[in-house]
Amino acid sequence: MNIRSLRIFVYVMEEGTLARAAARMHLSQSAASRQLGLLEQEFDVSLFSRDQKRLIPTPQAETFYPEALSLLAQIDDLPAVFGQMKRDVRSPLRIVSQTRIANGLVLPAIAEFAATHPEQPVKLEVMLRRDLGRRILHQRFDLCVSALPLPVDKPDAVRLGATTLCVALAHGHHLTSQSSIGVQDLRGVPYIALDDSTVLRRLIDRKVTGLDEPTYEVSVGTAAYRLVHQGLGFAFADPVSLDPELSEGIVLVPWEQKLTLEFGYFVAAPQVTEQAAHAFGEILRRQFTRKSGELK
């Protein structure tokens, strides 16, 4: 099996278009299309049908997708496997975090964990939620923190709680004096949005009507908050995901419509790090409870 073809297939499933998948592989669309065709020819299967510019997965593609994720996870993890074999050190607590909550929740939790478990090494990987599925399927981690539901079916995920979305504005903006904000209030205020591959953006597009088109579009929340901090417009945010170092320069104002995102974690630790993983989970829970109550 051609690994590049397999990776193109996974990226098309995640991105929805061949153009975006090709861009992630640094290939031309024609080269990416050839790689996808090789995979279909090798197994004599049709993986996608076309709908204008989008590729619609066939039932065969939906069935193959989790298997493809698992195969790529094993391939991508080979360097780490061999690296660990060469080292004779205490096994680190391997934490995988969704980008959105890494700075606001996971890093402060690591700092608290270090104070109570100074002898325990920690390895943190931060990735976009769309990439978490591959890591979860292969389970080469001890604890994964993400928005719920997880990208793959894991019924034993531990729920941390739900956060209520607010409007993030720079300190001193005239709208920060309001008790809540709606669409009409934001007319003419530049919209700093996450791209449409994110859970948050899809939630907002589905639930909120009448917003101006985004002036700025970014792939991760931390970039959006920094643009807000610079006074370039507003973004949707919550107390848990907001970077602590930006909190003094940003005000979160409740959105008039209650929109929530749930977060949780999943433990897949081997016996040697299971106790540390559960201890870290308790710290996450305390941090989340405190931060989710922080509003303006």
Q: Can you give the CATH number for the domain in which 20 is found?
A: 1.10.10.10
Residue 280's pLDDT is 97
Indicate whether 87 and 157 sit together in one domain.
yes
Q: Which residue has the tokens 């325990």?
A: 120
Indicate whether 148 and 285 sit together in one domain.
yes
Q: Can you give the CATH number for the domain in which 241 is found?
A: 3.40.190.10
Indicate whether 150 and 267 sit together in one domain.
yes
Indicate whether 118 and 253 sit together in one domain.
no
- Using CA atoms of 63, 56, 139, 101 in order, give the dihedral in degrees to the nearest 10: -150
Edge-to-edge strands of the sheet including 166-170? 235-237, 166-170, 250-254
Residue 199's pLDDT is 82
Angle CA 207–238–279, to nearest 5: 120
* Domain's final residue, options 76, 107, 131: 76
Three-state DSSP class for residue 236: strand
Indicate whether 245 and 189 sit together in one domain.
yes
- The residue range of the domain holding 70 is 3-76
Residue 81's pLDDT is 61
Indicate whether 210 and 83 sit together in one domain.
no
Would you give the DSSP letter of residue 230? T
Indicate whether 157 and 266 sit together in one domain.
yes
Indicate whether 179 and 252 sit together in one domain.
yes
Question: Considering the entire predicted model, what is its pTM?
Answer: 0.70
> How many structural domains is the chain composed of?
3
Ranges of the chain whose pLDDT falls below 70: 80-90, 139, 153-155, 272, 294-296
Indicate whether 138 and 265 sit together in one domain.
yes
Indicate whether 266 and 211 sit together in one domain.
no
d(CA 105, CA 288): 7
Indicate whether 248 and 170 sit together in one domain.
yes
Indicate whether 253 and 172 sit together in one domain.
yes
